[in-house]
Amino acid sequence: GLDRVLRPGRIGRLVLPHRIVMGAMHLGWDHRDDGGRTLAAFYLARVRGGAGLMVTGGAAVSPAGVDVPSSGVLDDTAFRERLRRVAGEVGAAGGLLALQLFHAGRYARPATGGPYPVAPSAVPSPLSRLTPAALPADAVTRIVEDFARGAAHARDLGFSAVEIMGSEGYLIDQFLSPLTNRRDDEWGGDPQRRMRFGVAVVAAVRAAVGPDFPVVMRMTGDDLLPDGTDRDTVTAYARALAAAGADALNVGVGWHESPVPTVQALVPPGHWVPVAAAVKAAVGALPVLASNRINRLAQAEAVLAGTPLDLVSMARPFLADPALVTRSRHGRPVNVCVACNQACIDRSLVGAAVSCMVNPLVGREADPATPSGSAPHVDPAVRAGSTPVHGPRTVAVVGAGPAGLRAAHDLALAGHRVTVYEADGEPGGQFRLACRVPGKADYAETIRFLTAELTRLGAQLHTGRRITDADEELLRRHDGVIVATGVLPRRIDLPGDGLPHVRDYGSAFADDALGRRVVVIGGGGIAVDLAHLASQRPDRQVTVLLRGERLGPRMGRSTRWAVLAELRRRAVQVVPGVRDLRVDPDAVRLVDGTGADRSVPADTVVVAAGQLPADDLVRTVRRAGVWHRVVGGARDTSGLDAVRAFAEGHDAALAF
């Protein structure tokens, strides 16, 4: 049951419909000059899906506080007018929106000509590689006032609450930590003085908005940095924030530069709950929110059942499924966030507009009929809509991988009669391989969600049915065909590749019977996944041989380092710059990057050297003369990732 999660909650005077708070996310369209239409539609979709209190992406309290140029500044009247519309529309729809007040401090990566980053002390930022200017004491006071002015704006613009961004290593955290605050004045020198800035901000915000307006303080429960803020300081700080007027504490974990993964898929769900629980123990009755790596309401229920915590903050899960709360309430399948970070965090880190791998509609809520821009293949030989018929039409979707399932789902949702043909015995395509990789088990949820929705929407799914040349007549009976037949493993010219212990990656993923000494040939994401999977057995030695210098060069910025660290922990050997590969019955021989001859013992050799489009069917569809789109790997394998596959499936459905 979800009894605890679905009970009303409270932050100050604000009554919340349930115990889930949508956490702040940088969406990357604060600057879109559309009067706030995109932002409003994004939040409204979540209100309609049952979201309670939602927190906006950080709004900088002054120009120097902007982290990436795509974020809004509260000094900017046009931005404030956009926010007014957003708050007004959300409020009119019965939603609750808190404005997040933000200052990046030394994490700022200013636009050309923008203000130079400032911080408590001149400690270089690993994010911008700049050394910020140390703030003079009077400038510190002015930033406290900026926060207070931002809070007053929030109240006047019609927001229901404010959240002060004091976690993740931004300015307020930089004052708290001995690593970044080297001052010896009223703002630093000992824990008491380092706490003073955050406490002063809360007090000033409280004074600015009056006693009744809800103020949430987001703080770091554990910075996960060597010699960072100690536990006693965190406890004392939490109590001081409460005394200064915070109505709730939202507990974050880790800084952006912490060497410990916090929100990546390989962090087990609920892992950080004890950090928030420790803060709760320090502040007694004050509401405390847990956050980070909680992606289902059932997990949130377990948090509330197992700890005295009051509320649970979930952010990315609301990108993946705007109707997360309503669907969970009614026991319907949810489109679960798989914590890939590929379309959200990895993009927000560089200030790009976010989307979601499993939900390409993110950012297009205002205009759901606008394609995501993935430009699916349009065959010049067949004009789009060659038989324009309005109303429901019949579509065949060939292939039930990410692209095909998404296309089928969206077509069925639009009311068309959809039949999906999948050659394998089960749907899922490459996602079915991926879900065996540690941390990627939730990929199975995506397949489950889409297939359950297909059933609910009355679409037909035929597995074990390969569509071939002989099916031209069948295809012709449809008004449209989506070719989503995916990829084939690319063969490379490799002496010895006919030996029985040489496998392609597809069969290797599916098979537990890999030997004790596994060599993976390839350097992309699939090779990394395979090495990660194979290395789960502690008695197995895994070696990755790659031509290039960098393993997984296209992996996401927020995940690559964490996964590679995991491979190192599991003693996976990585040999870059290899050439002259040859497979012998007992070993792989090669010349390594230093020019040395090497022999790596192997009883299984897995080739993961890229993919080719499985596009045989395109000719048949063309001959049939039926409207069609080719999507995902079947269209093009260069630069293919699941984000693109889902987006192309979505766009193809829109084009029909």
- Is there a contact between 204 and 144 (Cβ–Cβ < 8 Å)? yes
Using CB under 6 A as the binding criterion, the count of chain residues that bind ligand SF4 stands at 14
Closer by beta carbon to ligand SF4, 310 or else 442: 442
Considering only the stretches 7-15, 195-203, 350-358, 447-455, report the one whose residues sit in contact with ligand SF4 under the rule CB under 6 A.
Answer: 350-358
Q: Nearest CA to 519 among 462, 572, 458, 598?
A: 572
| Sole binder of ligand SF4 in the list 319, 437, 528, 602 (CB under 6 A) | 319
Interface positions, 173-232, toward ligand SF4 (CB under 6 A): none
Taking each helix axis as running N to C, give the angle between helix 137-157 and helix 77-92, from 0 to 180 degrees, rounded to the nearest 10. Answer: 40
User: 607 - beta bridge partners?
Assistant: 504, 521
Closer by beta carbon to ligand SF4, 220 or else 295: 295
Distance of alpha carbon 303 from the chain centroid? 22
Q: How far is the CB of 58 from ligand SF4 (least distance, A)?
A: 17
Contact mark string toward ligand SF4, 31..60, x via CB under 6 A: ------------------------------
Write out the two tokens for 580.
Answer: 């002259």
Asked if 342 interacts with ligand SF4 (CB under 6 A), we say: yes
- Is there a contact between 335 and 312 (Cβ–Cβ < 8 Å)? no
Q: How far is the CB of 167 from ligand SF4 (least distance, A)?
A: 19
- Is there a contact between 203 and 129 (Cβ–Cβ < 8 Å)? no
Q: How far is the CB of 339 from ligand SF4 (least distance, A)?
A: 5
Helix ranges (H only) for 73-118 are: 77-92
Query: Strand ranges (DSSP E) for 145-303?
Result: 161-166, 215-222, 248-253, 288-290
Closer by beta carbon to ligand SF4, 340 or else 508: 340
| Sole binder of ligand SF4 in the list 53, 356, 461, 519 (CB under 6 A) | 356
Q: How far is the CB of 101 from ligand SF4 (least distance, A)?
A: 24
| Sole binder of ligand SF4 in the list 205, 282, 340, 654 (CB under 6 A) | 340
Our answer to whether residue 505 is catalytic in this structure is no
CA–CA dist 16, 264 (Å, integer):
29
Residue 599 phi, psi dihedral angles, 5° rounding:
-130, 120
Considering only the stretches 138-146, 337-345, 421-429, 540-548, report the one whose residues sit in contact with ligand SF4 under the rule CB under 6 A.
Answer: 337-345
Closer by beta carbon to ligand SF4, 316 or else 503: 316
Angle of CA points 648, 651, 655, to nearest 5°:
135
CA–CA dist 279, 235 (Å, integer):
6
Helix (H, G, I), strand (E, B) or coil at 523: coil
Q: Nearest CA to 199 among 149, 167, 232, 246?
A: 246
Contact mark string toward ligand SF4, 358..377, x via CB under 6 A: x-------------------
Considering only the stretches 254-262, 342-350, 607-615, 620-628, report the one whose residues sit in contact with ligand SF4 under the rule CB under 6 A.
Answer: 342-350
CA–CA dist 269, 296 (Å, integer):
9
Considering only the stretches 47-55, 235-243, 316-324, 571-579, report the one whose residues sit in contact with ligand SF4 under the rule CB under 6 A.
Answer: 316-324
Q: How far is the CB of 320 from ligand SF4 (least distance, A)?
A: 5
Amino acid at 276: A
Closer by beta carbon to ligand SF4, 158 or else 556: 556
Asked if 348 interacts with ligand SF4 (CB under 6 A), we say: no
Write out the two tokens for 457.
Answer: 């929407």
Closer by beta carbon to ligand SF4, 188 or else 360: 360
337: CB partners within 8 A, 6+ apart: 295, 316, 317, 319, 320, 321, 356, 358, 442
The one catalytic residue in 170, 237, 421, 505 is 170
Asked if 320 interacts with ligand SF4 (CB under 6 A), we say: yes
Write out the two tokens for 263.
Answer: 């929100």
Q: Nearest CA to 150 among 211, 252, 79, 218?
A: 79
Residue 152 phi, psi dihedral angles, 5° rounding:
-65, -40
User: With the C-alpha atoms ordered 38, 44, 49, 55, is the resulting torsion angle positive or negative?
Assistant: positive
Closer by beta carbon to ligand SF4, 430 or else 485: 430
Considering only the stretches 352-360, 536-544, 571-579, 618-626, report the one whose residues sit in contact with ligand SF4 under the rule CB under 6 A.
Answer: 352-360
Asked if 323 interacts with ligand SF4 (CB under 6 A), we say: no
| Sole binder of ligand SF4 in the list 341, 451, 485, 559 (CB under 6 A) | 341
Asked if 316 interacts with ligand SF4 (CB under 6 A), we say: yes
Q: How far is the CB of 256 from ligand SF4 (least distance, A)?
A: 16
Q: How far is the CB of 446 from ligand SF4 (least distance, A)?
A: 8
Q: How far is the CB of 294 from ligand SF4 (least distance, A)?
A: 12
Considering only the stretches 202-210, 232-240, 332-340, 550-558, report the one whose residues sit in contact with ligand SF4 under the rule CB under 6 A.
Answer: 332-340
Cα dist. 591→283, 502, 585, 596, 617 in Å? 61, 19, 18, 5, 40
Task: Write out the DSSP string of 590-640.
Answer: EE-TTS-EEEEE-SEEEE---EEE--THHHHHHHHT-EEEE-GGGT--TT-
Active site residues: 170
What residues make contact with ligand SF4 under the rule CB under 6 A? Answer: 316, 319-320, 337-344, 356-358
